[in-house]
Amino acid sequence: MNDAVARALREFNERLDVFDPAPGPAVAEVRVGEQVIALRAPVVRALTEALLRYQDPRDRGTCDHCGSPRLDDNFVCADCARPSGVFGQLLAERASRYEPPAELT
Ligand SMILES: [Zn+2]
């Protein structure tokens, strides 16, 4: 895993250096295991922006009822166990009406 992270950082450096022929000295270093990757100012700015914009694919917003950020794939809150939002309510209503086929019962 460390090699993948270090490689991604090096490739990110290279991708941005192409656009900035005089990027200046390194202003930060990232240590990944034994490897140290030096980052110049344009790369630090871009990396900071990327980190701030990142949204985890598991982030489904917050629960309408208790504000918890822990909603499952069906928009059911892991903290108060209630479905959140219109989509969560629709899924809960459909699930309550679902009757399995006879061959599965
Ligand atoms: Zn909740």
What is the tens place of the pLDDT at every residue in 15-54? 998 898 787 899 999 999 999 999 999 999 999 999 999 9
For residue 61, report the distance from its CA to the centre of ligand 1, in Å.
11
Q: What tokens appear for 60 in the block?
A: 């489904």
Q: pLDDT, tens digit, for every residue of 43-95? A: 999 999 999 999 999 999 999 999 999 999 888 999 999 998 887 788 888 88
For 40, the 3-state DSSP assignment is strand
For residue 53, report the distance from its CA to the centre of ligand 1, in Å.
25
Q: What is the pLDDT of residue 2?
A: 84
Distances in Å between the Cα of 16 and the Cα atoms of 45, 46, 67, 80 are 11, 8, 39, 45
User: Is the torsion defined by CA of 53, 54, 58, 63 positive or negative?
Assistant: negative
CB-based contacts of 61: which residues, under 8 Å, 6+ apart? 69, 71, 84, 85
